[in-house]
């Protein structure tokens, strides 16, 4: 990256893992080792059930809190859903939106994800918008079209006033939880295209400040080369975020590159 406009960002997506007790143990190990560092933005996104516990432990540290999903309305008859206000009351800074698992298993459309992105921004929560192609889409030569659709539709109607609070995560679906990683060159090509799309919508100066994370089997063994790419500004980490040893190592790699 080597870009003074964008600090590296390492975010952990714990998905539907960790009991409250296990979440407490994990966040304590993370905070004790990297809770004071200031060179890299670090966030953890536990399940809803552990947000409160984790929030209390990260208070007064440099580890930020994120949620894994959100409903776009502020309150009302939406059984089982969680609003931006509720997330803010737990001191969430970020929310992951449009993760491929939500698109695939919960039929989330670009239009619905866009409502959530705009609601998050308007309610002072920074969205991490996930975009990325399936293996069938890549094999058919459709990667750029799919990513363009996810970005353009996901960000429709977002004004320049809010754009700097956006984070995009490029997550090729075929690389998530599979051990297969995009090569640094493959990932960079897509990240570059995403930045071009951001530039079309918000202008070059704002696009240069928006962080684009890579996600898909990122781990200490492959992070360095990925983070060396000019448009890769960090990682959204699934499996390797479930153990403090690997997550903290990823943060340390990013710290070294920031020096
Ligand atoms: C994810 O689902 O956001 C992810 C990147 O998972 P993994 O690191 O396990 O591939």
Residue 180, pLDDT > 90, answer no
Q: Is 234 in the pocket of ligand 1 (CB under 6 A)?
A: no
Residue 114, pLDDT > 80, answer yes
Q: Nearest to residue 252, comparing CAs of 27, 78, 40, 50?
A: 40
Q: Is 177 in the pocket of ligand 1 (CB under 6 A)?
A: yes
Q: Is 171 in the pocket of ligand 1 (CB under 6 A)?
A: yes
Residue 95, pLDDT > 90, answer yes
Token pair in block for residue 134: 């399936």
DSSP state of 174: G
Q: Nearest to residue 166, comparing CAs of 246, 63, 95?
A: 95
Residue 2, pLDDT > 60, answer no
pLDDT above 70: percentage of residues in the chain:
99
Cα of 9 to ligand 1 centre, how many Å?
15
The whole-number average pLDDT for the span 49-56 is: 98
Instruction: Give pLDDT, residue 259.
Output: 83
List of E strands, the chain: 9-13, 41-45, 63-67, 94-97, 126-131, 167-170, 211-214, 234-237
Instruction: Give pLDDT, residue 107.
Output: 98
Catalytic residue among 133, 171, 191, 252: 171
Q: Is 96 in the pocket of ligand 1 (CB under 6 A)?
A: no
The whole-number average pLDDT for the span 231-241 is: 98
Residue 121 banded pLDDT, cuts 50, 70, 90: very high
Phi-psi sector, 82: left (phi>0), alpha (psi -120 to 50), beta: beta
Phi-psi sector, 168: left (phi>0), alpha (psi -120 to 50), beta: beta
**Residue 171 catalytic?**
yes
Q: Nearest to residue 106, comparing CAs of 68, 140, 136, 142?
A: 68
Count of beta carbons in the 10 Å neighbourhood of residue 68? 22
Q: Is the dihedral of CA 127, 145, 109, 112 positive or negative?
A: positive
The answer regarding whether domain 9-258 maps to CATH 3.20.20.70 reads yes
The whole-number average pLDDT for the span 126-135 is: 97
Alpha carbon distance 107, 169 (integer Å)? 19
Q: Which atom of ligand 1 is nearest to the CA of 175?
A: 10
How far from chain centre, in Å, is Cα 82? 18
First to last CA, the chain: 12
Q: What are the Cα distances from residue 201, in Å, to 94, 156, 160, 206? A: 22, 9, 8, 9
The whole-number average pLDDT for the span 226-247 is: 98
Residue 3, pLDDT > 80, answer no
Q: Is the dihedral of CA 184, 187, 189, 192 positive or negative?
A: negative
Q: Residue ranges of the domains in the chain?
A: 9-258
Q: Is the dihedral of CA 209, 162, 154, 11 positive or negative?
A: positive
Alpha carbon distance 258, 162 (integer Å)? 26
pTM: 0.97
Residue 4 banded pLDDT, cuts 50, 70, 90: confident
């Amino acid at each position: 990256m080597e870009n003074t406009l964008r600090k590296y960002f390492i975010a952990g997506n714990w998905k539907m893992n960790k009991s409250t007790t296990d979440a407490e143990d994990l966040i304590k190990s993370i905070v004790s080792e990297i809770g004071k560092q200031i060179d890299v933005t670090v966030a953890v996104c536990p399940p809803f059930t552990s947000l409160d516990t984790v929030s209390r432990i990260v208070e007064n540290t440099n580890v930020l809190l994120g949620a894994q999903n959100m409903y776009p309305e502020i309150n009302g008859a939406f059984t089982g859903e969680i609003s931006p206000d509720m997330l803010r009351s737990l001191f969430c800074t970020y929310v992951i939106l449009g993760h491929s698992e939500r698109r695939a298993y919960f039929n989330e459309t670009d239009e619905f994800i866009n409502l959530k992105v705009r609601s998050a921004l308007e309610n002072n929560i920074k969205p991490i918008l996930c975009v990325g192609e399936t293996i069938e889409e890549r094999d058919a030569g459709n990667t750029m079209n799919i990513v363009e659709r996810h970005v353009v539709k996901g960000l429709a109607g977002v004004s320049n006033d809010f754009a700097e609070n956006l984070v995009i995560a490029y997550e090729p679906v075929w690389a998530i939880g599979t051990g297969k990683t995009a090569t640094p060159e493959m990932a960079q090509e897509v990240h570059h295209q995403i930045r071009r799309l951001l530039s079309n919508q918000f202008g070059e100066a704002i696009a240069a400040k928006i962080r684009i994370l890579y996600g898909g089997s990122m781990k200490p063994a492959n992070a360095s080369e990925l983070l060396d790419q000019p448009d890769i500004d960090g990682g959204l980490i699934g499996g390797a975020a479930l153990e403090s040893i690997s997550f903290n190592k990823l943060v340390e790699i990013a710290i070294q590159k920031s020096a």
